[in-house]
């Protein structure tokens, strides 16, 4: 049965949620607008944000509180897709995923919290399959550019070599942007959960944490700076790798291992060449941008100027057993975490409304939406995917 709204942006008063609302208002106005609404826990704050972000006053406002499962269920029943930017997800997200799974409502979010994702897979995958709820975590910078980057490379490898590349190296060449209070809070929530339950360390460091019942070959840790002869440069640990690599392996798992059962994947940041590159790699390995208490507070994040001047460029190198190489490059305009992420999240939700049906379950963006999502991101969201 068609529902009252195609999309509900839940968390529309937060730093990222308001950017998603602005994106819908600017990119899909008037006749091309989906049926959408803004939701949050405070009606007065929603009214303020709707006016501030230039969203038409005709866009309905819905109140729902993460502490009140009945309000979450009532919201889910009105939507084809709920977009959630209410995080940290491990603190505020569980009842919403439960409500989506129970009501057969599609769900997209920006989660980069793998222990919670695994908990949700174990708790709700069976019910989501039964009700047809398409639950898709990590529809932002973690992990779409990486998930679709590997997918794109493997399509090209199959076309050129007749087989996937068993080894793929992801190397983040440039990235300019900042962090928000919600992201800082999510990292702190994960560290607090780890302090309470040290056994979570095994899951957080397991590249196959999101592929229940399945593991694969040994994977590089990505934790030690090293010289990478493939790109003739020094590389350093990448802060998003622990979540992206798990999602990439889950895509391979959900799709029946199109990347091969022996697939090996890592992600690192390119630090530079020669001695300067080595020194930069060592410094990057020690740098934690979210460690200081003076980090951003909930609701805060990079300014519009910082978002507009941001960008990223990510190289994927596929290597075959007989030494052949194939590259793919993914780029995005705007800063990765917010300007680009808000577009990726919005287009993922629209992709579920307009392009992709598929089965219920707990999915990755690459496994459920793959090439359809990539087309939308290139057409609308300032991203490029070039295989060659
Ligand atoms: N993966 C990525 O690439 C990526 C990028 C950006 C953000 N993120 C994630 O997205 C999430 C949001 O980040 P952000 O910086 O936008 O956070 P934020 O500014 O702190 O916004 C959080 C939102 O959650 C709402 N909220 C908090 N408690 C609630 C409750 N009990 N019931 C209902 N709503 C509640 C807040 O409502 P009020 O306004 O009423 O306080 C606000 O709308 C974080 O988990 C972050 O890690 C991920």
Averaged pLDDT of the chain? 95
Q: What's the confidence (pLDDT) of residue 294?
A: 61
Contacts (Cβ under 8 Å, ≥6 apart) of 102: 73, 76, 127, 131, 133
**Coil, helix or strand for 55?**
coil
CA dihedral 114, 119, 120, 124 (to 10 degrees): 150
pLDDT at 291: 61
Q: Which of 24-28, 194-198, 287-291, 359-363 has the lowest mean pLDDT?
A: 287-291
- Tell me the CB-side half-sphere exposure of residue 338, using CA atoms within 13 A: 27
Q: For position 152, what pLDDT does the model report? A: 98
**Distances from the Cα of 304 to the Cαs of 9, 10, 15, 20, 85, in angstroms?**
21, 22, 11, 14, 19
Closest to 329 in 3D by CA, of 158, 194, 152: 152
Atom of ligand 1 nearest to the CA of 183: 47
Mutate which of 74, 117, 183 to test ligand 1's pocket (most atoms within 8 Å of Cβ)?
183
Beta bridge partners of 272: 234
Residue closest by Cα to atom 29 of ligand 1? 66
Instruction: Pick the residue whose CA is nearest to atom 31 on ligand 1.
Output: 66
* Both tokens assigned to 290: 């979210």
Interval 295-315: pLDDT, tens? 788 888 999 999 999 999 999
Lowest-confidence pick of 108-117, 175-184, 257-266, 336-345: 175-184
Segment among 79-88, 186-195, 316-325 with least mean pLDDT: 186-195
Please, is 91 exposed, middle or buried when counting C-beta atoms within 10 Å of its C-beta (0-12, 13-18, 19+)? middle
Report CA(376)–ligand 1 centroid distance (Å): 25
- Hey, whose CA ends up nearest to atom 4 of ligand 1? 110
How far apart are the C-alpha atoms of 13 and 17, rounded to whole Å? 6
Contact (CB, 8 A) for 379 and 350: no
Tell me the per-residue pLDDT of 19-59, one tens digit each, with 9 for 90 and over: 999 999 999 998 889 999 999 999 999 999 999 999 999 99
Kindly report the pTM of this predicted structure: 0.97
Residue 292 has pLDDT above 60, yes or no: no
Residue 289's pLDDT band (cuts 50, 70, 90): low
Mean pLDDT over 109-119 rounds to 97
CA R_g for the chain: 20
Mean pLDDT of 194-215: 93
Task: Please give the share of the chain, as a percent, with pLDDT higher than 70.
Answer: 98
List the one residue out of 269, 264, 259 whose CA is nearest residue 151.
259
Q: What is the pLDDT of residue 226?
A: 96
Q: How many residues does the chain have?
A: 388
Pocket test for ligand 1, best of 39, 41, 179 (most atoms within 8 A of CB): 41
Residues in contact with ligand 1 (CB, 6 Å cut-off)? 11, 13-17, 40-42, 45, 65-67, 85-89, 92, 110, 112, 140-142, 180-183, 186, 298-299, 301, 337-338, 341
**What pLDDT sits at residue 39?**
98
Question: 3-state SS string over 235-261?
Answer: EEECCCHHHHHHHHHHHHHHCCCCCCC
| Token pair recorded at residue 58 | 């005709």
Best CA proximity match to 320, nearest among 235, 260, 254: 260
CA of 188 to the centre of ligand 1 (A): 14
pLDDT of residue 105: 98
What pLDDT was estimated at residue 293?
60
**What digits encode the pLDDT tens for the residues 229-278?**
999 999 999 999 999 999 999 999 999 999 999 999 999 999 999 888 98
Q: How far is the CA of 14 from the centre of ligand 1 (A)?
A: 5
Q: How confident is the model at residue 290, as a pLDDT?
A: 59
Nearest CA to 91 out of 11, 200, 190 is that of 190
Question: Ligand 1 atom 35: the closest Cα is on which residue?
Answer: 86
């Amino acid at each position: 049965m068609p529902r009252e709204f195609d999309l509900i942006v839940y968390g529309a008063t937060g730093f990222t949620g308001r950017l998603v609302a602005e994106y819908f208002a600017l990119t899909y106005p008037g006749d091309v607008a989906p049926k959408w609404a803004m939701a949050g826990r405070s009606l007065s704050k929603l009214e303020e944000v709707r006016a501030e972000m230039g969203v038409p006053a005709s866009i309905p406002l819905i109140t729902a509180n993460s502490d009140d499962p009945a309000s979450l269920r009532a919201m889910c029943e009105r939507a084809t897709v709920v977009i959630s930017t209410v995080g940290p997800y491990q603190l505020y997200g569980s009842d919403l995923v439960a409500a989506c799974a129970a009501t057969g409502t599609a769900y997209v979010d920006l989660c980069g919290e793998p222990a919670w994702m695994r908990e949700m897979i174990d708790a709700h995958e069976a019910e989501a399959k039964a009700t047809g709820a398409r639950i898709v975590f990590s529809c932002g910078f973690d992990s779409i550019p990486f998930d679709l980057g590997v997918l794109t490379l493997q399509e090209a490898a199959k076309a050129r070599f007749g087989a996937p590349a068993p080894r793929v190296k992801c190397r983040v060449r440039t990235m300019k942007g900042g962090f928000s209070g919600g992201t800082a809070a999510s990292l702190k929530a994960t560290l607090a959960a780890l302090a309470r339950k040290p056994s979570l360390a095994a899951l957080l460091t397991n590249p196959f944490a999101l592929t229940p019942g399945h593991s694969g070959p040994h994977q590089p840790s990505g934790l030690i700076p090293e010289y990478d002869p493939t790109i003739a440069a020094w590389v350093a640990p990448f802060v998003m790798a622990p979540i992206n690599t798990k999602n990439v392996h889950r895509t391979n798992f959900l799709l029946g291992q199109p990347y091969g059962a022996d697939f090996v994947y890592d992600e690192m940041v390119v630090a530079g060449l020669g001695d300067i590159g080595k020194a930069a790699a060592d410094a990057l390995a020690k740098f934690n941008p979210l460690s200081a208490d003076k980090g951003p507070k909930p609701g805060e994040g990079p300014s519009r100027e910082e978002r507009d001047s941001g960008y990223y460029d990510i190289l994927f190198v596929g290597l075959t057993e007989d030494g052949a190489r194939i590259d793919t490059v993914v780029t995005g305009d705007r800063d990765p975490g917010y300007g680009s992420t808000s577009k990726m999240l919005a287009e993922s939700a629209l992709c579920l409304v307009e392009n992709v049906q598929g089965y219920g379950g707990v999915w990755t963006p690459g496994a459920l939406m793959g090439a359809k999502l990539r087309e939308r991101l290139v057409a609308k969201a300032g991203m490029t995917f070039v295989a060659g």
